[in-house]
Every structure is written in C-alpha cells, then in structure tokens.
C-alpha cells in the first residue's frame, strides 16, 4: 500500500465539505509529518473541543503552541523526530499585530486600534478573517525553522472564498472607493461622481449625527502608507497557494452526497488554478474478513448464522462504498492520488488516536 507522502511540500492545505473530519485529518497529517522528522506548524480555523484538548490549544489562539509528542513516539524515535506547533486562528489578534508591525509609528497604530470603525470592522468585515489567515500563513511559512505548514480551512461552501481572499484584497486596495474615502495613494483626478458621493455621505452625517464619513475617512487614512504592503503580501499569498511546493488535499467521506460535493469542489479548485494533489476518503470501511473464518470458528451454529448475516450486510455497504470510489476516481485530476483513511472504532480524542489515523492513510 502506498502512503501519503508530504516530504516534497512546504504547505499542505486541507479542504472539504463540513462534517467529513477535515480538521482531524489536518491534525493527523501534521502529527505524522512531525513524527517522521519534520518541523511542522498546523493552523486550524475552528477545531472541535476534543481536538483543542488533544493539541493543547485550550486558551491558546493566535501564536503557535508547542505540542508534546512524547505520547506518540517510541523511545527509539527520540533522536530523529521533528517538532509540532499548533495554533487556532484569531483574526482580530492577527489584524492587531499587523497594524502594530506596519503602522508608521506606535501612535499611529494606537489611533487605528482605538478607532470605532476598526473595532467594529476588524471582527465583522466580510473577508477579514479569510485574509488574516493568509497573513498568518505567510508569517508561519517565512519562519526558517518550519519545514511544513498544514492549513485547515473552513467547510467547502466557504473555502473558495477563503482561498480567494488575497485576490479580493488586492482588488479592494486598487479600487476607487479607497481613494474616495481618503487614502493618499498618489495623484488622481477627482470626478464629479466622487464629489457627489462625498456630498451624499456628508449629508447623511448631518442628518444622523453619526459622523460616519469622518470616522471612515480616519480609519482608511490611518492605513496611509500600509496599503502597498497589504497588496504585496496578498500577491505573495496568492502565489504561494499555487506554488509547486503546495499540496492541496481534498477530504471527503464515502457517502454519495459527499462524493458529489467533493467532485464539484475539485472542479472548482482546478478552475481556480489550485491543483489537487490528493483526495482522502475519511472513515473508510476496513477490509472484510474471509467468510471461511466464520465456518472455522468454534462457535454455535446460531452465532455463525448471525455472523454470516452481519457479513452480508457489511459486504453490501462495502460494495456501495466501492461504487463511490469509482465515481470519485472519474473526477480525479491528473497526477492526484486517491487515499483512504480507515475509520477508527471510536472518536479520535488524543494524540495517539491522530497518530494512528496518520499511519493508516493509504492508497485506494
């Protein structure tokens, strides 16, 4: 059986429909790579409580947290294993850190962070969380001590927007709206439309007393001198997602509906020039036992009949699963590997559980 090989990658992005165990697979791949000797960072967007506990992330968010791998390593591995750091994305904390790092001065950073518009939009503006994940990803990837970053993404319904965040930000920073609201981005002729828009916003302020225009202009103007940096980093993030050292991994389960979602998602990723390197079918059924074992067993005839019926039921499910695999194979991009992650007998709750999943992933 062929194992999933991540040695050639600097970034592994796990994507897939909600509820298929994508975050679990992300954590398992990170643990497996660290146990094999690599220095790994895993960033998860919204982990389940049991994974927070397993990775030791309870109460830890924006900064990488060292994960103790002693429970998944043999004593003989101690001299060769790598290290694992995990973090749970905190978009607001990441945005605050970027402002403090790139503002013209400490006073300018304080003014931005204290502003009413920033306080509200930094947490609520559509796309901010997505782009902050990309900023954090660039920061992790730039660390020379890190060999591999594993990125867990939102469910497939949101993942394409998530991965498209750098391009959307570049477009926003180049838009006329930013100039209109007060960012000094070089000389530009002001049109009658701009003047009319300012007049409408000003009239709105006078009627409502909210001083919205002034607050928004102060917010946008506070970032003066930082826009080029945002645009440059967004361009780098977009290029990194499509780099040859990036492996996009789609995670799904064998249910027909999930397979259909995965097929649509793979096609959308290919259209976006995000090339899928592997598809992992999570919670795959184990191989069925040989029926002859039932006949050889020293058990009662009644129990043998029950075991035969159970085996027949499982064989029917296995046949249905095989049809799903064939359907998925027909949508696989050239060069992508179809992999299986067999189902555990219980919910994964510990690092050894995740390490077991990592070790069990194999080609279909």
pLDDT, tens digit (0-9, with 9 covering 90-100), for 131-145 = 888 899 999 999 999
Segment 212-235 shows an average pLDDT of 77
% of the chain at pLDDT higher than 70: 81
Least confident range from 151-155, 182-186, 211-215, 231-235: namely 182-186
Q: Convert the pLDDT of each residue in 175-191 to its tens digit.
A: 655 555 554 444 444 44
pLDDT band at 324 (very low <50, low <70, confident <90, very high): very high
* Position 311 pLDDT exceeds 60: yes
Q: What angle do CA 114, 116, 117 make, to 5 degrees?
A: 115
162 contacts: CB under 8 Å, gap ≥ 6: 130, 133, 153, 154
Give the Cα separation of 351 and 31 in Å (integer).
Answer: 8
Is the pLDDT assigned to residue 253 strictly greater than 70?
yes
Q: 11-114+145-158+246-258+267-363 adopts what CATH topology?
A: Rossmann fold (3.40.50)
Q: If phi over 0 gives left and psi between -120 and 50 gives alpha, with beta otherwise, what is residue 273?
A: left
Task: Please name which of 297, 283, 304 lies closest in space to residue 361, comparing C-alpha atoms.
Answer: 283
What are the residue ranges of helices labelled H in the chain? Answer: 22-35, 49-55, 91-102, 106-114, 116-124, 128-141, 156-163, 165-173, 176-180, 192-208, 212-222, 227-241, 256-271, 291-296, 301-329, 351-360
pLDDT at 192 over 70: no
33, 79 in Cβ contact below 8 A?
Answer: no
H helix runs in 209-283, sequence order: 212-222, 227-241, 256-271
User: In this structure, are residues 219 and 118 in contact, taking their beta carbons and an 8 Å threshold?
Assistant: yes
Diameter over CA atoms, the chain: 92
């Amino acid at each position: 059986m062929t194992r999933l090989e991540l040695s050639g990658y600097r970034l592994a992005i796990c994507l897939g429909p909600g509820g298929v165990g994508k975050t679990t697979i992300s954590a398992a791949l990170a643990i497996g790579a660290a146990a094999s000797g690599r220095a790994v960072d895993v960033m998860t967007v919204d982990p389940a409580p049991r994974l927070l506990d397993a990775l030791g992330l309870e109460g830890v968010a924006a900064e990488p947290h060292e994960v103790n791998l002693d429970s998944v390593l043999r004593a003989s591995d101690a001299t060769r294993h790598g290290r694992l750091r995990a973090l749970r994305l905190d978009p607001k904390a990441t945005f605050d850190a970027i402002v403090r790092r790139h503002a013209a001065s400490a006073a300018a950073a304080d003014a931005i962070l204290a502003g009413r518009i920033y306080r509200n939009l930094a947490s609520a503006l559509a796309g901010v969380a997505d782009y902050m994940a990309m900023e954090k990803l660039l920061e992790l990837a730039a660390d020379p001590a890190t060999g591999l970053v594993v990125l867990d993404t939102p469910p497939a319904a949101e993942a394409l927007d998530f991965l498209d965040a750098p391009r959307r930000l570049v477009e926003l920073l180049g838009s006329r709206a930013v100039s209109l609201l007060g960012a000094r981005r070089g000389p530009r002729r002001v049109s009658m439309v701009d003047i009319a828009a300012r007049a409408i916003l000003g009239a709105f302020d006078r009627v409502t007393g909210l001083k919205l225009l002034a607050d928004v202009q102060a917010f946008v103007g506070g970032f003066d001198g930082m826009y080029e940096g945002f645009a440059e980093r967004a361009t780098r993030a977009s290029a990194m997602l499509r780099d040859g050292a990036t492996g996009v991994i789609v995670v799904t389960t064998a249910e027909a509906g999930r397979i259909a979602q995965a097929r649509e998602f793979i096609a959308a990723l290919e259209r976006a020039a995000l090339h899928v390197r592997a598809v992992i079918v999570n919670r795959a059924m184990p191989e069925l036992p040989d029926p002859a074992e039932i006949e050889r067993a020293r058990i009662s005839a009644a129990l043998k009949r029950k075991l035969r019926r159970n085996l027949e039921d499982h064989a029917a499910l296995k046949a249905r699963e095989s049809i799903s695999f064939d359907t998925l194979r027909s949508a696989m991009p050239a060069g992508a590997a179809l992999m299986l992650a067999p189902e555990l007998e219980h919910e994964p709750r510990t690092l050894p559980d995740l390490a077991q999943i990592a070790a069990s992933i194999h080609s279909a």
